[in-house]
Amino acid sequence: MATPDRFPLPQVSESTRKPEWLKVRLPHGEGYERVKAIVRRTKLATVCEEARCPNIAECWGGGTATVMLMGEVCTRACRFCHVKVGAPPPLDPMEPIHLAQAVKEMDLEYIVVTSVNRDDRPDGGASHFASAIRELRQHSPRTIVEVLIPDFKGVERDLDTVSEARPHVVAHNVETVERLTPTVRDRRATYRQSLKVLEYLKKRPERLYTKTSIMVGLGETDAELEQSFRDLRDVGVDVLTLGQYLQPSQYHLRVERFVSPPQFEAYKQLAESYGFLYVAAGPLVRSSYRAAEFFMKGLMERERLGLASNT
């Protein structure tokens, strides 16, 4: 367990103003503008824009993007998330094909496909995910496909559906430490169920790389974070990202603390000591983060050449 001397908690500021390290420049650049134009024309729903991600210029300019399937209305109400909640519209059966065509045109090196929760669907949308994966791999065989999936209520049959479509990376976010999960996430999502989802996917015969993300600044302690690192490695998670929680509106959970870059570095070193293949940690790090994707791309290239293996 981490000691206060090794990994001291940052002092909580009473100020509600964002620290300087969270301020970013407006996105620009040739690569960014090219992807933006295609997104506009194809009406692709990107998390990059919906979530106002601070890394959008870096990602789009570097050949990566995160897109959202199955509409913009979620069936779950997590208290950190700005996505609309309600009764979603029917799925568009042509969406996987349209997505694959747009990604091919953008000539992306890495695509992250995520979605809202669709508890209204018998399989939670697993078959829709699988269709998107297959179309992407057919249209853009050199593009690395990562899927960031819901928990599908922990139904193994639905997890099989996604895994059998063979994405290169499968991610499912625990979001926060165990104690805070009932406050932060929808009541249908539990910390232990998320761990089981990650463990099950890692044990699948497809031998997929697994990934998860944790937000900090919600009231967690160092000891709780370390326990989460331990829990995640116990179920075989390969890649971990840690980033600052930012309150999307006055109706969402407030920020309990702004974590400094040096503190993020301390968390990164602590997580690495548990044996993750890669840890990305920083104020602006998000679940879909360019540095982590660059690492995965390099890892898979080494695997293709027989210099690495996913065990």
81 marked as binding residue: yes
Question: Taking 70 as the threshold, does the pLDDT of residue 206 lie above it?
Answer: yes
Counting every residue written for the chain, the total comes to 311
Range of lowest pLDDT (25-29, 41-45, 181-185, 260-264): 25-29
pLDDT digit string (tens) for 256-288?
Answer: 999 999 999 999 999 999 999 999 999 988 776
Query: What's the rounded Cα separation, in Å, for the pair 89 and 110?
Result: 28
How large a percentage of the chain has pLDDT more than 70? 77
Give the CA distances from residue 252 to residues 76, 82, 83, 87, 148, in Å, rounded to whole numbers and listed in that order.
14, 8, 11, 20, 22
Question: Taking 90 as the threshold, does the pLDDT of residue 242 lie above it?
Answer: yes
Average pLDDT over residues 176-203: 97
Residue ranges of the domains in the chain? 23-304
163 marked as binding residue: no
CATH fold label, 23-304:
TIM Barrel (3.20.20)
End-to-end CA distance of the chain, in Å?
27
Question: Higher model confidence: residue 289 or residue 119?
Answer: 119
Strands 110-115, 169-171: parallel, antiparallel or unpaired by DSSP? unpaired
53 marked as binding residue: yes
Question: Higher model confidence: residue 56 or residue 164?
Answer: 164
- Chain centroid to CA 122: how far? 24
pLDDT of amino acid 150: 97
Strands 64-69, 73-74: parallel, antiparallel or unpaired by DSSP? unpaired
228 marked as binding residue: no
Residue listed under structure tokens 């049959």: 157
Burial label, 109 (beta-carbon count in 10 A; 0-12, 13-18, 19+): middle
Query: What's the rounded Cα separation, in Å, for the pair 170 and 148?
Result: 6
Q: Are 141 and 111 in contact (CB under 8 A)?
A: no
pLDDT digit string (tens) for 65-99?
Answer: 788 899 889 999 999 887 888 999 999 999 999 99
Angle made by CA atoms 290, 294, 295, in degrees to the nearest 5: 120
Q: Which residues contact 90 (CB under 8 A, 6 or more apart)?
A: none
Query: What's the rounded Cα separation, in Å, for the pair 111 and 117?
Result: 19
Question: Taking 90 as the threshold, does the pLDDT of residue 118 lie above it?
Answer: yes
Give the orientation angle of helix 156-164 with respect to helix 191-203, to 10 degrees.
40
140 marked as binding residue: no
115 marked as binding residue: no
Query: What's the rounded Cα separation, in Å, for the pair 130 and 124?
Result: 12
- Helix, strand, or coil (residue 306): coil
DSSP 21: G
Question: Taking 70 as the threshold, does the pLDDT of residue 292 lie above it?
Answer: no
260 marked as binding residue: no
